[in-house]
Structure 1
C-alpha cells in the first residue's frame, strides 16, 4: 500500500469513527453557513427537501423522495465539479465522494422499495431522520473544507462568515451552574 492509500484509509477511518448526533429539527440558520454562496444555497435547498420528506404523508412520500433524490444528484454533481475544477486534493475528494455515494445509494434503495410498496411511511421517515442526523456533520467536516478550498482558490483567501443570533450550546450554563453563580 502506498503513502497516499494509507492517508486515504486513515482519513476514511477517522471519519467513520465520528458520531452523528440526533437532530430533532433541521432548520436553515446562519449556523449552517459555510461562506461559499452557491454551496450555502444548495444546503438551504437540502434542508427544505429533507424537511418536506420528514413531514411527508402516505400521499406525498413518493413525491418528496423524488425531490430529495433529484436534489442530491444535482447537489453532489455540483460539489464534484467544484472539486475537479479547483483541484481539491484527491485523498479528501475520494472520501467526500464516497460519502455522497453512500447517501445516494440509501436514498435510491428506499425510493425503489417505497415505489413498489415494500416499505411504508415509517421507513421513509427514518431515511429523512438519517439525512437530518448526517447533514450537520457532513457540512461541518467535509463541505466546510471544500468551501474553504474553493474560496482560497477563487478569491485567494478564506471567507468571513457572519452568523447572527447564535448561542453555542456548551457556553449556556445548565440550571445547576446558573444557581451556583
Structure 2
C-alpha cells in the first residue's frame, strides 16, 4: 500500500483544490487504517467527500469550458462508482474489496493529482487571476 504523505509534488497552487486534496488524503488514510468495526463509517466519509470534491472540480470545468473536462469528469465518475461499490460491499459485510480499493487509491490519487488536477489548477489560477 502506498503511504499517504502530503508532498510538494501534490501541491497545485490553487488553494480550493489543494484543500480538497489534503482532505481526500486524510480520509483515505483513515480508510486504509480502519479497524473492521470502522471500515463502513470511514468509507462513508470518503464517499461523501469524493461526491463534494469531484462535484466542485466538475463544476469548475463546466463553467470554464475546460478542454480536457470530459476525460477528467469520466475519471471522477469511474472512481466514485468504485467507491460506492466498495461501500456497498462493506455494508454487506464483505470488507475485502474496500480494503483493497483503499490500498490502490493512493497510487491513483497521486497520478490524478499530478496530471489531470494539475492542468485544471493551472487553468483555474489563470482564470481567477484575470478576473480578479
TM-score by length of 1: 0.69
Distance 2:89 2:97 in 1: 10
The one-character-per-residue Cα deviations of 1:46-90 (angstroms, maximum 9, x if unpaired) are 10000000000111100001011000000000001111222212x
Cα shift at 1:154: 1.6
Which structure is larger by alpha-carbon Rg, 1 or 2? 1
Does structure 1 residue 42 correspond to structure 2 residue 42?
no
Query: Retained in 1: the 8 A contact 2:28–2:102?
Result: yes
Q: Which protein, 1 or 2, shows the higher relative CO under an 8 Å CA cutoff with sep ≥ 6? A: 2
Match of 2:109 in 1: 135
| 1:155 corresponds to | 129
Q: How many angstroms apart in 2 are the aligned matches of 1:72 and 1:51?
A: 14
**Residue in 1 that maps onto 2:54:** 76
Q: Within 1, Cα distance between the matches of 2:18 and 2:62?
A: 19
Check conservation: 2:9, 2:114, Cα contact below 8 A.
no
Q: 1:143 deviation in Å? A: 0.3
Structure 2 unmatched ranges of 5 or more: none
1:29 paired residue number? 7
1:125 aligns with 2:99: yes
After TM superposition, what 4+ stretches of structure 1 lie above 2 angstroms from structure 2?
none
Which structure features the higher share of helix residues? Answer: 2
SS at the partner of 1:87?
coil
Contact 2:2 2:104 in 1 (8 A): no
Q: How many residue pairs are counted as aligned between the two chains?
A: 130
Measure, in 1, the Cα distance between the counterparts of 2:2 and 2:77. Answer: 25
Structure 1 unaligned runs (5+)? 1-22, 157-181
Q: What is the aligned partner in structure 2 of residue 93 from structure 1?
A: 69
CA distance in 1, matches of 2:2, 2:61: 31
